[in-house]
């Protein structure tokens, strides 16, 4: 299950019973790995004032309840750690980014981050990883996609810096490398780290899959276990979408980096998904909207693929034959 913001947390960023029920329901429905929505590493790291937070120890208890419920229902669970950068819309916070370039015309330009700001943010990612481990999560996904802070450092469209964090691909990937280093120092070695990337900026002069693959090759040794491939979100351009529209980018990053990749994009048909996996275009498939519509998608997909998947014993009498 792909991370999808629910926009229903209180301004404190605390998880609610609704979150617990929402994620546990997908575990009951047979999803193997659930990734919790973008969770702010700081108040200004949220996308909105209604996002989950992990910037203080008080958040651990609520997140732990989600983890326990998902584990009890048979699934693994990860958390997406995020800083919204220039796309932050939370109330009462200072918006920051690698360069003072607004997301869209008319927006207030964000503050350009100093080296001290960068160091502080890396530390916030590290602190969030410590809390994620205390909460019991099985995986951390570092959000470097969809136009948020790390993605802003990666793309030449949003990173106009002239210091060691801007210019060349080696410099633009440095911030992500610093974050991976920091997370890996405190995250247990047996637990994986996944990085989610935007593999296509959909604007001239932006990044493409080859660019991201080459940049990931510069830092993958720091402890990246898999790459979750998405596209868009950096600039206000709406791409043409269709089932599997992001699979070519995922396949290219898999080819360039040799890392396992998770891919998706408007997918819902079990046979189509199975074909992608059999043809080794991706190693995992993530579903988003489809599992909002149907929490039990995996149970029905097994039937379509003639696989005898055990249903929860409470639901066995309703199993599709």
Q: Which residues are catalytic?
A: 143, 146, 148
Strand partners, 97: 112
Q: Which distant-in-sequence residues (6+ apart) come within 8 Å of 244 by Cβ?
A: 265, 266, 267, 272, 276
Distance (Å, whole) CA 259 – CA 245: 20
Closest to 166 measured CA to CA, from 115, 235, 98, 220: 98
Positions of E strands within the chain:
33-40, 76-82, 96-97, 111-112, 139-144, 193-198, 226-230, 261-263, 284-285
Distance (Å, whole) CA 184 – CA 145: 19
Distance (Å, whole) CA 205 – CA 157: 7
Q: Is beta strand 96-97 parallel, antiparallel or unpaired with respect to 193-198?
A: unpaired
Q: Is 241 left (phi over 0), alpha (psi -120 to 50) or beta?
A: beta
């Amino acid at each position: 299950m792909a991370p999808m913001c629910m926009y229903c947390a209180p301004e404190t960023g605390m998880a609610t019973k609704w979150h617990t029920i929402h994620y546990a329901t997908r575990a009951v429905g047979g999803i193997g790995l659930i990734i919790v929505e973008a969770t702010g590493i700081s108040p200004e790291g949220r996308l909105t004032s209604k996002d989950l937070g992990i910037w203080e120890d008080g958040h651990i208890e609520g997140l732990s309840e989600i983890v326990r419920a998902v584990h009890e229902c048979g699934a693994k669970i990860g958390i997406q750690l995020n800083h919204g950068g220039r796309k932050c819309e939370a109330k009462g916070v200072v918006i920051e980014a690698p360069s003072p370039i607004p997301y869209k015309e008319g927006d207030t330009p964000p503050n350009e981050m100093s080296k001290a700001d960068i160091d502080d943010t890396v530390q916030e990612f590290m602190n969030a990883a410590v809390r994620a481990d205390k909460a019991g999560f099985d995986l951390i996904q570092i959000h470097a996609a969809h136009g948020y802070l790390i993605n802003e450092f990666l793309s030449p469209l949003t990173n106009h810096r002239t210091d060691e964090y801007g210019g060349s691909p080696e410099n633009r990937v440095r911030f992500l490398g610093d974050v991976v280093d920091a997370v890996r120092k405190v995250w247990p070695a047996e637990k994986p780290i996944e990085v989610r990337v935007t593999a296509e900026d959909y604007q001239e002069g932006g990044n493409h899959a080859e660019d991201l693959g080459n940049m990931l090759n510069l830092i993958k040794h720091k402890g990246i276990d898999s790459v979750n491939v998405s596209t868009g979100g950096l600039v206000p351009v709406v791409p043409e979408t269709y089932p599997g529209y992001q699979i070519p980018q995922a396949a290219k990053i898999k080819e360039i980096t040799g890392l396992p990749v998770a891919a998706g994009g408007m997918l819902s048909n079990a046979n189509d998904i199975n074909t992608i996996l059999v043809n080794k275009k991706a190693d995992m498939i993530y579903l988003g909207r489809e599992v909002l519509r149907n929490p039990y998608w995996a149970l029905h997909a097994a039937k379509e693929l003639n696989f005898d998947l055990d249903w929860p014993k409470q639901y066995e009498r309703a199993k599709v034959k």
